């Protein structure tokens, strides 16, 4: 039985070598890739409603006032998370080279106007994060 496993592994390795030998490999970039940032959020027990209040009263209004496209939001009916938020990365993967993107700066300025000051805007964001139990971020490319 053990020798059969080794034989199968050897066959797969040889088949893979023949395949790669048949074609020359070359570099290839994606044509106009569309990158997104996805955030999976789980709220603390009984804290989704107050968090959604902050999202509606501050975050969504800051998006609108700044002229920024709102993220796509999914509310889970099953699973470990409560919500998935998907933002388009306008500059693609280059977005990761910013400490603060131009849209982030516009959004924060609008948050400051809505909250009354930059400090109050940060306090509102801090309050939101007190309602969050888990926050996991992934980056993906749309096909």
Structural domain that includes position 105 = 34-142
> Is residue 1, in this structure, part of any structural domain at all?
no
Distance CA 56, CA 58 (A): 6
Q: DSSP 3-state assignment of 88?
A: strand
Q: Kindly state whether residue 107 falls inside one of the protein's structural domains.
A: yes
Global confidence as pTM: 0.78
| pLDDT tens sequence across 104-141 | 999 999 999 999 999 999 999 999 999 999 999 999 99
What's the number of domains the chain is made of?
A: 1
Residue 73: CATH number of its domain: 3.30.70.100
Confidence category of residue 32, pLDDT binned at 50, 70, 90:
confident
- Domain-located, residue 4: no
Q: Please, which residues have CB within 8 angstroms of residue 57's CB and are 6 or more apart in sequence?
A: 114
């Amino acid at each position: 039985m053990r020798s059969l496993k080794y034989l199968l592994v050897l066959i797969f390795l040889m088949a893979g070598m023949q395949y790669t030998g048949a074609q020359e490999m070359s570099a290839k970039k994606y044509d106009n890739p569309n990158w997104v940032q996805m955030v999976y959020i789980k709220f603390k027990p009984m804290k989704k409603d107050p968090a959604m209040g902050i999202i509606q009263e501050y975050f969504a209004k800051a998006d609108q006032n700044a002229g920024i496209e709102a993220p796509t939001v999914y509310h889970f009916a099953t699973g470990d998370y409560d919500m998935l938020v998907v933002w388009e990365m306008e500059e693609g993967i280059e977005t990761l080279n910013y400490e603060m993107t131009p849209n982030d700066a516009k959004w924060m300025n609008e948050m400051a106007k809505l909250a009354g000051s930059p400090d109050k805007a940060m306090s509102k964001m801090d309050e939101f994060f007190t309602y969050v139990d888990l926050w996991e971020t992934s980056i993906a490319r749309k096909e």
